[in-house]
Amino acid sequence: MKTWNKIPIKDNKEKLITIPNCFKFFSPHPYHDLGAPYNGEKEIWKLREEVVKRLIKVNEYLKSINDSFYLLIYDSWRPVEVQEFMFNRAFSLECDKLGIETSMKDFKRYPLVQKKVEQFWAYPSVDKRFPPPHSTGGALDITLADKYGNIVDMGSNIDQMDEKSKPDFYKNIEREDAIIFNYRRNLLREIMLEFEFVQHPNEWWHFSYGDQLWAWKNKKACALYGKI
């Protein structure tokens, strides 16, 4: 459980809606393509209504300050079943890297692996008090693209589980490519924060509005969105 999971939730019952096609999307959808258990295409590329409204404003703002880049949406709402699939996959891949032969039945026997995975993947809890952020419809993974829709190099891949994924990793590195990566990350953060999104502390690509992390960072009494 994260610190922000202590924030109570009073779901305002906003609907999930499909993200409009004025955005660029990562294609094919990265998790659907891996076999994650979505209930067909209809469950992909959705967010809460207010989140979509704010994201449209972010998109317009980016065009006004830097027309070299475009928003590219990597992932949005996830059913808890998808979160579980991806969490288990991340745990298995990390175990493989360490030469550990195990299964999810042995998950709690490897607390250090568990801790690392949970820095980047929320535990797929079904407890309504602390839902995975993406399962609330308030969180999304987003990056920058060029005019052709190609993903821009941000200094680490989305879902890369190491220090390079922290938003400020390149802040004090004077190397030329590091300065470029830091500029791009700062630009993404600036445009998202301008419209009241908050950024995950371990992931330069993860932003949310209305969930427990958002409420915690903004010192709100409660979150607006629970599991949906």
Q: Is 203 a catalytic residue?
A: yes
- Alpha carbon separation from 148 to 64, 144, 145, 178 (Å, rounded): 18, 11, 8, 24
Three-state secondary structure call for residue 64: helix
Write down the catalytic residue from 14, 50, 84, 203: 203
Percent of residues in the chain assigned helix, strand, coil, to nearest 5? 40, 15, 50
CA–CA separation, 186 vs 183, rounded Å? 5
Asked if 195 contacts 208 with a C-beta cutoff of 8 angstroms, the reply is: no
CA–CA separation, 49 vs 136, rounded Å? 12
CA–CA separation, 171 vs 116, rounded Å? 23
Q: Find the radius of gyration of the CA atoms of the chain.
A: 17
Three-state secondary structure call for residue 198: strand
> Taking Cα atoms as reference points, which of 15, 34, 17 lies closest to residue 26?
34
CA dihedral 193, 129, 133, 19 (to 10 degrees): -90
What positions carry a catalytic annotation? 203
